[in-house]
Amino acid sequence: MDIPIEIQRSDDEKERFRIAIPIGDMIGNKISADELQKISKDYLNFIISCRKMIEITKKKSKSGDPLLKWELSNFIYTFIKALHERGYIVTKLAETLARDLRMSKRHIDYIIEFRETYPKLESVNPKISWDRYKELLDIPNPELREKVEKMLKQGKMTGRKELRRYKKENM
């Protein structure tokens, strides 16, 4: 079905969201106002939980623990997948999450890409910082990314400058 929905934030000071949907999709697919209210409520609970996870991550690590970032990315992935299974896709997903989680769109893009690139928690190495994982995600070639990741795990590459120089020379 893949009905596009737009999650709009209420203009008042309260944490309220409403779901906007093309009228043709609403009538043609017989979507009730109750269903849209449920999505809105689920989204609010999702945002509250994400914010708590973000606070925990900030308290535990300055640079961001990659395992906690993966947990957040998996939570986001699971919520979006559940919406998709119900037949909905969120338009402007990264922008919407950036607005509601008070993060940059680029950071949201990294979080989503992190979960797509590392689908299992076991594939994330806690010795590699979140900043280094972001650098890895900027490598479009999977083979080169794996090679650099291996070097990071083995301690053959440690600094940001060294990593960026290697990427510049090999990309």
Specify if 20 maps to a domain: yes
Structure tokens, 166: 């290697």
pLDDT tens-digit profile of 76-130? Answer: 999 999 999 999 999 999 999 999 999 999 999 999 999 999 999 999 999 899 9
Q: Report if residue 168 sits inside a domain.
A: no
Would you say residue 103 lies in a domain?
A: yes
Q: What are phi and psi of 35, to 5 degrees?
A: -65, -45
Q: Does a structural domain hold residue 126?
A: no
41 in any annotated domain: yes
pTM over 0.85: yes
Strands 3-9 and 88-90: parallel
Domain that holds residue 94: 3-118
Q: Is residue 139 part of a domain?
A: no
Residue 30, Ramachandran bin (φ over 0: left; ψ between -120 and 50: alpha; else beta): left
Token pair 């994330």 is at which residue?
Answer: 124
The structural domain count of the chain equals: 1
